[in-house]
Structure 1
Amino acid sequence: MAKAMARHILVKTEAEAAQLKKRLATGEPFDTLAKKYSTCPSGKRGGDLGEVRPGQMVRVIDEVIFKKAVGEIHGPVKSQFGYHLVQVFYRG
C-alpha cells in the first residue's frame, strides 16, 4: 500500500497562504512558519503530518500528497478547513 510523509501549514485565508509561500521561497524554515501560523494541531510539530496513507486526509490534500511532485511546496490548496501549503518529502 502506498504511503507518504508530508507536512503542511493551514491558515484561514488564501492571501495568508500565498504570503507564507513567498516567505518559504525566500528560505524561511517551513517548521518555524508552521509553528507560528498554522491553525492545525500539527503546527506544534512544525506541520509534520507523519506517515500518511491514501484516504486518511481530506480528498484535496490526499491528491496533493499522492499525485504532486515530492519536495515542492504546493498550494494554496482550499479545503473545508481553510488554505493549506503542503510539502511531501517522501512517497513510497
Structure 2
Amino acid sequence: MSSPPTLDRGLIERLTAVLEAILAYADFRHYTPEELVDPEGEFRLPTTARMIREWAYQRKFTRSRMGGRVTLRLPHIKELVESFDEPAMQKPKRRT
C-alpha cells in the first residue's frame, strides 16, 4: 500500500488564500429574485420573485439597485430570510 499524499505548508497556504478569495467574492455577487425562489437553486425561498420585488420597492429590506434592477447580495438575503422568523411563543404565566 502506498502512503497518502502529504500537503506541504505552501500548498495549504495557497489553497487557503484561494478559498478566502472565493468566499469574499460570494459576498459581492448579486442574485436576482428569480435565483432566490428557484426550487433547484441555492436558496429556495418560500415566496415568489414578484413578492421579493414588491417588498424591495416598499423598502421592507435592504437591497441593491445596481443597473436599475432589484438584486440582492448575501447580507441582503440573510436580512430577508431573518424577516420570516417569528419569536418563540412564551408560555403564559399563571395567575394566582
TM range (shorter): under 0.3
TM-score (norm 2): 0.24
TM-score, with structure 1 as normaliser: 0.25
In terms of fraction of residues, the more helix-rich structure is 2
Q: Which has the higher strand share?
A: 1
